[in-house]
Amino acid sequence: MEKVIFLVDMQSFYASIEKSANPKLQDRPVVVAGDPERRSGIILAACPIAKQYGVKTAEALWQAQEKCPELVIVRPRMKLYIDLSYQITQILERFTDQVEVFSVDEQFMDLTGTERLFGDKYSVARKIQEEIQEELGVYARVGMGPNKILAKIACDAFAKKNENGMFYLSHDNMKDTMWHLPVGKMFGVGSRMERHFARMGIQTIGDLAVYPVHYLKKRWGINGEVLSNIANGIDYSPVKTETHNKQKAVGHHMTLPRDYETLEDIKIVLLELCEEVAKRARAKNYRGHTLSLGLRGANFDLPTGFHRQIKLTSPTNYGMDLFHAALQLLSKHWDGLPVRSVGVTLSQLQSADVYQLSLFNPSVEKDQLSKAMDDIRKKFGHTAIVRASSLNKAGQVFDRAQKIGGHYK
């Protein structure tokens, strides 16, 4: 039996929630974005009216305001969006227990074998749209296919453009409907990869589908084969309802409010990031063997900055251990150009309960100090104890404490 997989996507999720909550915004061009005065502010969601002015998700706020001076800017409320995303999951679980949360506004469903209960796939999709619209005031688009990748492409490339918000993409119709699309429209292909493909003469998804896979594997390894499979609609991955698989890494990334040009400024946010990563590792009872550091410049389309990793002398979840390792990478690889984005990741995780003891090891004292700080922050708030360096202008800990995932709660 061929599978029936849905990808349910919420149209302009954040903006739709804000419009639903405030009827006065119904006929206004609304975007959800960061603070207008911050240069780093980007558009997180734009309603269809705003998109008519050419406003796009992920573009700078000042660019959107130039396109649409009447733009209504709403500060994000991430806790609300996360709560409503969970309510959407509960609605979808009325139709199947096979639901996978793909992102805050996208969820996969495996509806194979449910036709006798709910009708054909189009009937189910319509019922899902109606229930989400009626209960939450948000419009859902539904991509359908025999696997997750075709359902995803069906949603992104076709359902979002169809008046009924639905599309079924199969192996039978994908050559006529999908292969003529620019390769940059394919899931998994970013702007940099698109430029690589253009130099190889690959312009469309169909071009990629018929390109010899051994050349792609030679150039990009397993990722080349994966991209070839996507272009050919091949995907064997199941809808995963289990979300508690063993974690492989703990990380934190920060887009800065301005270009950081001095070593001292970069060190301040680097210490904050290392402390946050260490805190998350402790909360999950992990220690890590490897630390990775990534820096990017202001132009994310250009290959600026670096991404390197270093093996730690022993597994740790102590912030200063991570910071000292990160400083080694920074001093060795930073080219001195302005930095706009910083990310720190702790990987090769193991249980914090299992680690090698050495004579005169100060790990016990570190653990006790870290636990005391974690307990105080849990009771009195994240900013109850901060490093003195975070009081400098470059520090971001107080601003980030007001946010979830980098956006306001």
Consecutive H or E run containing 350: strand 339-351
* 26: CB partners within 8 A, 6+ apart: 19
Are 39 and 171 contacting, i.e. CB atoms less than 8 angstroms apart? no
Q: Which residue has the tokens 């492989």?
A: 248
Amino acid symbol at 245: N
Q: Which residue out of 106, 272, 275, 276 is catalytically annotated?
A: 106
| CA 100 vs CA 36, 97, 115: distances in Å | 35, 9, 20
Q: Give the span between the Cα atoms of 157 and 9, in whole angstroms.
A: 12
Active site residue 59: no
Angle at Cα 106 formed by Cα 103 and Cα 111, nearest 5°?
A: 125
Strands 140-145 and 166-168: parallel
Q: Give the span between the Cα atoms of 74 and 250, in whole angstroms.
A: 31
> Where do runs of H (alpha helix) occur along 144-243?
148-153, 174-177, 191-199, 205-210, 213-220, 222-231
Residue 120 labelled as part of a binding site? no
Angle at Cα 43 formed by Cα 40 and Cα 44, nearest 5°?
A: 110
99-103 β-sheet, strand order: 99-103, 106-110, 5-10, 140-145, 166-168
Residue 335 labelled as part of a binding site? no
Q: Give the span between the Cα atoms of 234 and 107, in whole angstroms.
A: 19
Q: Which residues pair with 351 in a beta bridge?
A: 286
Consecutive H or E run containing 46: strand 43-46
Q: Which residues pair with 144 in a beta bridge?
A: 6, 168
Give me the active site residues, please.
106
* Binding site residue list for Mg(2+): 9, 105
